[in-house]
Amino acid sequence: MNIAKSGYRVFSANSSAACTELAKKITERLGVELGKSVVFQESNRETRVDVKESVRGQTIFIIQTIPRDVNTAIMELLVMAYALKTSCAKNIIGVIPYFPYSKQCKMRKRGSIVCKLLASMLAKAGLTHIITMDLHQKEIQGFFSFPVDNLRASPFLIQYIQEEIPNYRNAIIVAKSPAAAKRAQSYAERLRLGLAVIHGEAQCSESDMADGRHSPPSVRNTTGHTGLELPSGKQQAPFPGIELPIMMAKEKPPITVVGDVGGRIAIIVDDIIDDVGDFVAAAEILKERGAYKIYIMATHGLLSADAPRLIEESAIDEVVVTNTVPHEVQKLQCPKIKTVDVSMILAEAIRRIHNGESMAYLFRNITVDD
């Protein structure tokens, strides 16, 4: 394709060579060249972007994969988007396979919804549309004032299960917590396999504080509400005739596996694998219950800190992730980590958006719960 007549350009906003691999694969599939630009960090760690070709009147796609230095990657994306906006680009579309800060999408105590802040920053910088994959919560799309295409990696991971896991018909899909049960159920139904759910106090559910308060609130006494506490620590007299009911504290049951995994291949599915402690603990429980092989399937392989070492030393047989996040260093440290390429669906999304074609084909057979 002649990029001078194609009407669009594809740029990479990464300053790291390892992070441009996905961008190169996408442009190879599209048959276009990667746009000419320079993204670098100055000696004082400020981000600088120089666009080396005209983008006036063009539709621009910025591919940004997120390495370990998340905040630098965000600044690279913001600065490049603003540079393209001030260079009179017609449309600026961000291709962000893993959307950062997606776990900070709910209010917790006196914190903030950082994901909403990032969405506002991207709009202010000039983005008019984003393409992402497997948002941590689908409701995140409501934070944006422009269209969001939330693609799915499950077709690629399901294909891997069918083609690369011997005797996968003897497998069972496992949710490592009740919160992950919907995703696991979707995989189980598509593969015509059974479903198991791990539940108990060994699991730490992030939904426990999702409403911004302790659930239930901390209780100082068991005799009822006696008044409002002042900053000095003293109690204000209660309102006449008011006595609030006291909720019983939550108590998780002992660790249990709902479903029979004995003599089966256990496949744990999730959207993100970062701190692998929960996965390692789940693998040990499944081994104790008789599972003879354990696979982890996840879209985004962040694999931070000592994750490669912990996986290598654990009962996990294989961890399969997509290339939405660069993890070549982790693969060198742990041969159990395997990669599934999703550049095909990202390239097809870019092509369809540029040509004004429907995106429905990319979401065929996708349900609300997927």
Residue 231 has pLDDT above 70, yes or no: no
Percentage of the chain exceeding pLDDT 70: 86
Crossing angle, helix 21-30 and helix 343-355, to 10 degrees? 50
Domains in the chain with CATH codes: 9-151 (3.40.50.2020), 155-203+254-340 (3.40.50.2020)
Please give the Cα distance from 49 to 28 (Å, whole number).
Answer: 23
Query: For position 320, what pLDDT does the model report?
Result: 97
Q: What gap in Å lies between CA 18 and CA 61, rounded to an integer?
A: 19
What is the pLDDT, as a whole number, of residue 211? 47
Q: Closest Cα to residue 276, out of 315, 306, 317?
A: 306
Banded model confidence at residue 355, pLDDT cuts 50, 70, 90? very high
For residues 169-181, average pLDDT: 94
Please check whether residue 320 is in contact with residue 293, taking contact to mean a CB–CB distance below 8 angstroms: no
CA distance 63 to 53: 17
Q: Provide DSSP, 39-93.
A: EEE-TTS-EEEEE-S--TT-EEEEE----S-HHHHHHHHHHHHHHHHHTT-SEEE
pLDDT of residue 202: 52
Digit-coded pLDDT (tens) for 212-226:
444 444 444 444 445
Residues 33-87: pLDDT tens digits? 999 999 999 999 999 999 999 999 999 999 999 888 899 999 999 999 999 999 9
Mean pLDDT over the full length of the chain: 87
The pLDDT value given to residue 175:
96
CA 83/CA 257 separation, integer angstroms: 52
Q: What's the pLDDT at 224?
A: 47
Give the closest residue to 38 by CA, choosing from 88, 91, 87, 83. 83
Q: What is the dihedral of CA 51, 52, 57, 60, to 10 degrees?
A: -60
pLDDT digits (tens, 9 = 90+) for 94-135: 999 999 999 988 888 888 999 999 999 999 999 999 999 999
- pLDDT tens by residue, 269-317: 999 999 899 999 999 999 999 999 999 999 999 998 899 999 999 999 9
Mean pLDDT of 251-267: 89
Contact (CB, 8 A) for 261 and 295? no
Rounded to the nearest 5°, which phi and psi values hold at 51? -90, 125
Band of the pLDDT at 235, cuts 50, 70, 90? Answer: low
pLDDT band at 249 (very low <50, low <70, confident <90, very high): confident
Please return the burial class of 289, using the count of CB atoms within 10 Å of its CB with bins 0-12, 13-18 and 19+: middle
